Amino acid sequence: MTIVSDKQDLSEEAPQGATDAAKAPAAVKTRPGALAETGSPTLRPPAAAHLSDEQVAELGRELDAIKDDILAKRGASDAAYIRRMIKIQRGLEISGRAALLVSKNKAAWVTGTTLLSLAKILENMELGHNILHGQWDWMRDPDIHSTTWEWDFVTPARAWQHTHNDLHHRWTNVIGKDNDVGYNLLRMDPQQEWKPFNLGNPVYNALLAPVFEWGIAIYDLELQDYKEGKKSKEALTKDLKALGRKALKQFTKDYAATPAVAMLTGSGKQALYGTLTANAVRNVWAHAVIFCGHFPDGTDTFTEEMVEGETRGDWYVRQMIGSANISGSKFMHLMTGNLSHQIEHHLFPDIPSNRYGEVAPKVREICKRYGLPYTTGPIWKQVGSTWAKVFKLALPPKKA
């Protein structure tokens, strides 16, 4: 397998050996919105209002240089890393499902459920999310490519790539353009109009966490766009069929195949509960990590006025002040898919995830030098801050 280690961005090329469907234009979409070459947005965010156009341009050049350096260094060690992670994840999953086959024994149930939970977290966070971003497309490996990978999450990969890669990463935290701010369910910013429905904010969030993959699957259907006439009935029908196929596949694997085989040892019911628990654990963890990266105190949101005429440097600034990191151990970083480095991920969504820890100190230094906030903290703090916001924004705004 040829490994490309130069600076060329090959993330939008289908790998050799990929299927015709993977090569089709519909599999890879161009992100919407164009960045201005020079100038400044109509209004800079308050946290960056002190920066001149020249400073923002220079900041952009510094961050471009960091990215170019990482792209130039990609090579055999990075390829070995992702292949090792895939082997570990598959080993955990096979071991977990094997233990659940004899899970009438309580120790086997705990072991199997734990291993399967870890396998699902690792697949979603470090593998699925990052592979679908095109972080490993440069390897030209048809088995580890953004156009061919299908993850262990009920929402189809292509639907998620559209709402996440194409829309969220382009319009990060822009109220009115980035529907990830609350996922059309929660009120997560004071700029969002308060309605009596929002009184249930904490309840909705608590119910969303254990079924997070289903919440994302429904969100990826873009029902609001269909309601507003922005999405055709044909497109919605196509997406519904894709979701149905993916849901059937997930149900068969988790709730039919494994429990059915486990029935041979009298462990069918226990295996079903084990897979249900593993999915819930994965969902709660994914929900916590994603919310900690976007909504704690210190993360900014933006008006459409603030992105009108925005340059690449301004886009970089918005990613830095609109995201938050989680501090912790190497194991914690791994289990978050390195989204504990959410700031770095939003700056460079297509560099290999194992490089974010290397990049983080450089980004932090740039933030300090340019007088920009760099929001980070332990997971308990970020989770607490996010939930405090969920409760606070459930209430109507105070009258002036």
Reported as a single tens digit per residue, the pLDDT across 149-173 is: 999 999 999 999 999 999 999 999 9
Closest-CA residue to 138 (of 290, 317, 10, 330): 10
b/e map 48-63, b = 16+ CB within 10 Å: beebeeebbbebbebb
Structure tokens at 202: 């904490």
pLDDT for residue 38? 84
pLDDT for residue 32? 54
pLDDT under 70 in the chain at which residues?
1-33, 400
Question: Whole-angstrom distance between the N-terminal and C-terminal Cα of the chain?
Answer: 64
pLDDT for residue 3? 36
What's the whole-model pTM score? 0.90
User: Is residue 327 helix, strand or coil?
Assistant: strand
Decide if 344 contacts 361 (C-beta within 8 A): no
Give the start-to-end residue ranges of the domains of the chain: 34-392
The conformation of residue 353, written as its DSSP 8-state character, comes to G
Decide if 41 contacts 306 (C-beta within 8 A): yes
Output phi, psi for 293, to 5 deg: -85, -15
Output phi, psi for 311, to 5 deg: -95, 175
Decide if 326 contacts 376 (C-beta within 8 A): yes
Closest-CA residue to 372 (of 325, 318, 328): 318
Structure tokens at 15: 């790998």
Decide if 154 contacts 214 (C-beta within 8 A): yes
Structure tokens at 379: 């997971």
Closest-CA residue to 68 (of 369, 367, 347, 372): 347
Reported as a single tens digit per residue, the pLDDT across 293-307 is: 999 999 999 999 999
Q: Position of tokens 């089709």? A: 24
Measure the CA dihedral 388/377/178/372, to 10°.
Answer: 120
How far does Cα 159 stand from its chain's mean position? Answer: 13
